[in-house]
Structure 1
Amino acid sequence: MKSLLSTIFLLCIAFTVNSQNEKALAAFDSIYYDTAVNVSATNPTKALHTADSLYLYSDMEIQRLRSLMLIADLLEKQGKRQLSVENALKALTIAENIKDYQWQAKIYGFLSTQYRNIGFLDQGKKYLKKGIAISSKIENKQLASQFRGMTYQEMAYYAFEENKFKEAIENVQLASLSFEGVQNEQFKNFLIGNNEEMFGRSYTGLEEYEIAKEHYYKSLEYLEKSGAINTQWGAMSFQGLGNIFLKQNKLDSAKIHLQSALSIAEKTDHTALKENVYRNMASYYKERKEIDSFSFYDNKYNTILQENISRTKKSINSEFNRISNKKKATSNPNLYAILAVIVLGVLALLFYFRRKIWKLESVDTKESDEKKSTKIVLPQKTEDELLEKLNEFEASKDYLDNKISFSVLVGQLNTNAKYLSHILKTSKNRDYNTYINELRIQYIVEKLKTDSDYLNYKISYLAEESGFSSHSKFSSNFKRFVNLSPSEYIESLRD
């Protein structure tokens, strides 16, 4: 996961301040680490509240600085990159005022990560170079070495962006050497675990899967020692293993590791992690030919993918405005406008093709599964009971609830997805979406026929009344089933 390095930039000072005899920071450090690593993975809202409290009640500038960076890191995981960068820049101002070169270097590293994540690679590398330059002023050799290690990790992430996996391995090896002198055992295990995950990802990119698996397993061992196995870092290694087992068609092993990753991801607000986990879960069920579960995770994946791209676009727009305002007096704004348009265009195309390819890959699976579903033979008693439950569902008008979904209906009818798909196809000659949408249109048509007040309602109200999420979906389905637009049909009734 390309965004998690930012957290590591925040942690290393928490394990060295005591060596500088700053005993007053001991309690702060304990809360800080627990919030950054453990609480953020299980209760993101609580973590953000804790970080806010640390900032509000801190007596020292260094504590306020670190609290701001913790807030920035938590916001970044939630995809709120604009707010994240704003907090980081506030922290940078404090670091510059108190001449804390250690934190200046780390904040530059954090900012490098943010700009890399939105595709501003050149801007990101500029911040990384600033971090390297300022790190020469760090007197504490241990901290300086740790920062160099994290710089090598960041350089590995840039290599990942360009699919230069051998270069990534070289940088991770250099990072490992830089971390050898870390004295705190817990933090050292955490850093090594992170490095092992990056090795696993690199060898996966090189299609050397057995070597990659060894590194992923090592990552989990070290993360367990550090107490971070049930965090997003553990989820990354579980996901990496699950992905490899999928490629090797070892589906049982894939399921075990992907479910471990899913269990962790669902407890976090880490949107990029969820995107990858949902995509791999959809791939797993696609291989299993389980169409309903595939559709469930495919929908979750596409939803969060669209949300993440939308957030990234906002971040790009915000950064474009910031740069334009900052350099307006001395630079040609057209240059930045062109840059923003190019990046936004690339992102739009990326989203379009990622989604298009994914959907195209799913077509054959959906068609084959629908064919398979007709081969299911239900006991007559089961079929009769299910049909009776469907009749009760129709009579209850629960289909008007815009939150109804296939999985929800399966639960309401106390059946399973295959049985429901089969009965809809054989008895109703409909798939789920057609079945629900037709019921909704039939309902509103009946209302229009029997209650003249409905003829005066706005189309948007009719759409909402019948359970559709938008005016356009209502209108297209109305036209599909009635062969007239809603307005045309209403006029025909008035005549």
Structure 2
Amino acid sequence: MFSSFSQTEEKLSQLPFDAIRDSIHKYKFSDRPKAIKAAEAYILKGKREKDKTEEWLGMESIALIYVRFRMYKEANEQAEKTLEFAKNNNLPKQEMRSLSFLGDLQKAVTTVDKQLFYYNKLLQLAEARNDEVYRETALNKIAAVQDFSGNTEKAINTYKKSLEYYQNKPLDSNFNQIKKNSNILSIYSSLAISHLKLNQLDSAKLYSTNIKKFKEKELDTCYAAYKYTIDAEIAYKEKRFKAARQNYEKAYAVCPSEYDLIQLNKAYALGKIVVGEKNYPEAIRILQKGLDDYQVTAVEEGFMGDYYDKLAEAYKNTGNFESASYYFEKYLSSQAEFNQLKENARESFIKKERAAFKKDFDALVSEKEKNQSNFKYLLLGGAILILALLFLLLKFYRNKKADELKFETLLAKIEAAPSPEGIIDTRDEELEEKNITEVPEETKQQILEGLKKLEKQEYFLKQECNSYNVARKIGTNTSYLSKVINNYYGKNFNTYINDLRINYTITRLKNDAIFRSYSIQSIAEEVGYKSADSFTKYFKKDTGLNPSFYIKEIKNIT
């Protein structure tokens, strides 16, 4: 580490890369000229040693320094240079990293169109290079823009696909367990935030529970903050302000930062909680200090609406109507700008879809011009397509009618059944254990009584409910258990458990409005299934209906 920046860049570049990098980190928040001088020395050293990767890292450092000091235009110009350098020197990893960085920057310097342009370029290059990590990075960034534009459901679907990718990705020298855990936790966090936007608290809590399973030592530095941030947001939504404050304080303690934007976010997080507690003077102190320390730039005004809203509310409740009016006007202005940004994002996606459609349409027209004789086949194909669509439409209505009939039949069975266990009573044609003669009569009674006891305790709703655990709780073995269930119920063990679960679900969904508001995934886990797919399969097998259709119809009659 050098002690004085009076030395020339040439002298600084004689130091090891690590030493120069330490100096960049030391000054990147506090002294821009010194930090940039160190980065330029890093570039010079990379040139001298003919190391293009290190040279690129020095160039990227300058762009990052500009971002730290909120000089977004200069950061964008430097980032474009890093992209060009990576292209010219065949550095595909660095090229993809430059595209990702440039996409992030566009939110502050240009338009959503340009942001999506860079993210889509990143996606194309990642797919061409078969780089799965950057492909997922691009998809997640595009999903974040979708979320921002108001298409949160589509963003959630993208996040879920990415989650599945990281969960199934094998470990290797470049992807260790800590990186895997950190990526999964990050996506859990995105999913939780998206569900909070949709006011789907039960789903957000589900992902929060998954996040808590990770220990801090199992994650990259700072990722542990997600564990507390999501809990803080959930607590805030539920007006548990003390818990919200404690979790936010833990989040910022886990990952302290000198970055002024982080300090502004912290002021907003704590300030809005104090507003919720109606401690308005303290809220003003926190929020005003955060704003005064940060000094919002013009390009950031569109993202400050929530902050100004809370500050206006705090001033209004202290009787300072002049300041309240001032910040309320700033809130309205910020909100209008933010809504325009959202609309621009939405239009960008529509524009992309239109462009894709036009491309396909133009290809058809071009093909027609090349070979006019094929026109009749296109007409024929169009007619077939229309007929196919009509057929699918007819099939849809027939299926809908059939489902409505199945629902009415199921409803009648519910009303007629003396108890929930009698609604669905599946019988298996092929039984695993037919011979019951070897089971002592006393043991048979013990098993039957034990099963009834476990049914009353609703043990079948637990995911751990399998033949081994049931046999152990009753005090018998799995063979005897299977024989008795086969003989007395006419079904195998799995069918017996599934019938209990589906009957419980049918009845509870009919009687419990809150349970009906759960997501299918949450319902599945509540009744003992590990996945929504598994639950849906058994529900449809037993009732002939998808659970979503059953829930919709129940809502219509209650």
State the TM-score bracket (shorter-chain normalisation).
0.5 to 0.7
Instruction: Name the counterpart of 1:161.
Output: 197
- Aligned-residue CA RMSD in angstroms? 3.2
Given candidates 35, 39, 46, the residue that maps to 2:74 is: 46
Q: Distance in 1 between matches of 2:111 and 2:278?
A: 36
Matched, 1:282 2:312: yes
Of stretches 93-102 and 245-254 in structure 1, the one that deviates more from structure 2 is 245-254
Instruction: Name the counterpart of 1:199.
Output: 231
Superposition TM-score, scaled by structure 2 size: 0.49
Shift of 1:101: 0.9
Change (3 A) 1:132 1:220: closer
**Superposed CA offset, 1:155-188 (max 9, x none):** 111211122335324323433545745675xxx1
Change (3 A) 1:31 1:245: farther
Q: Distance in 2 between matches of 1:55 and 1:235?
A: 30
Q: Distance in 1 between matches of 2:255 and 2:56?
A: 23
Instruction: Name the counterpart of 1:467.
Output: none
Instruction: Name the counterpart of 1:366.
Output: none
Given candidates 109, 112, 119, the residue that maps to 2:143 is: 112
Contact 1:255 1:284 survives alignment (8 Å): yes
Instruction: Name the counterpart of 1:326.
Output: 356
Contact 2:68 2:259 survives alignment (8 Å): no
Superposition TM-score, scaled by structure 1 size: 0.54
Change (3 A) 1:241 1:120: same
Matched, 1:306 2:358: no
Instruction: Name the counterpart of 1:420.
Output: none
Change (3 A) 1:164 1:99: same
Q: Distance in 1 between matches of 2:158 and 2:215?
A: 22
Shift of 1:308: 1.4
Change (3 A) 1:26 1:284: farther
Runs of 5+ consecutive residues of structure 1 not aligned to the other structure: 1-22, 333-495
Matches within 5 A, 1:418-437: none
Contact 1:41 1:267 survives alignment (8 Å): no
Instruction: Name the counterpart of 2:154.
Output: 123
Instruction: Name the counterpart of 1:86.
Output: 117
Contact 2:233 2:244 survives alignment (8 Å): yes
**Superposed CA offset, 1:266-286 (max 9, x none):** 158445541221112211221
Change (3 A) 1:183 1:203: closer
**What secondary structure does 1:249 align onto?**
coil
Shift of 1:91: 0.8
Counterpart residue type for residue 120 of structure 2? L
Contact 1:44 1:268 survives alignment (8 Å): no
Counterpart residue type for residue 99 of structure 1? N
Counterpart residue type for residue 248 of structure 2? Y
**Superposed CA offset, 1:395-415 (max 9, x none):** xxxxxxxxxxxxxxxxxxxxx
Change (3 A) 1:52 1:261: farther
Q: Distance in 1 between matches of 2:330 and 2:67?
A: 24
Instruction: Name the counterpart of 1:223.
Output: 255
Matched, 1:317 2:353: no
Shift of 1:222: 2.7
Contact 2:189 2:226 survives alignment (8 Å): no
Shift of 1:99: 1.4
Shift of 1:245: 1.1
Counterpart residue type for residue 80 of structure 2? D
**What secondary structure does 1:42 align onto?**
coil
Shift of 1:125: 3.0
Instruction: Name the counterpart of 1:209.
Output: 241
Q: Distance in 1 between matches of 2:259 and 2:254?
A: 8
Instruction: Name the counterpart of 1:64.
Output: 95
Shift of 1:66: 0.8
Contact 2:195 2:201 survives alignment (8 Å): yes
Matches within 5 A, 1:217-366: 217-224=249-256, 227-231=257-261, 233-262=262-291, 263-264=293-294, 266-267=296-297, 269-271=299-301, 273-327=303-357, 329=360
Counterpart residue type for residue 278 of structure 1? Y
**What secondary structure does 1:57 align onto?**
helix
Shift of 1:249: 2.3
Given candidates 113, 116, 126, the residue that maps to 1:95 is: 126
Number of equivalences: 303
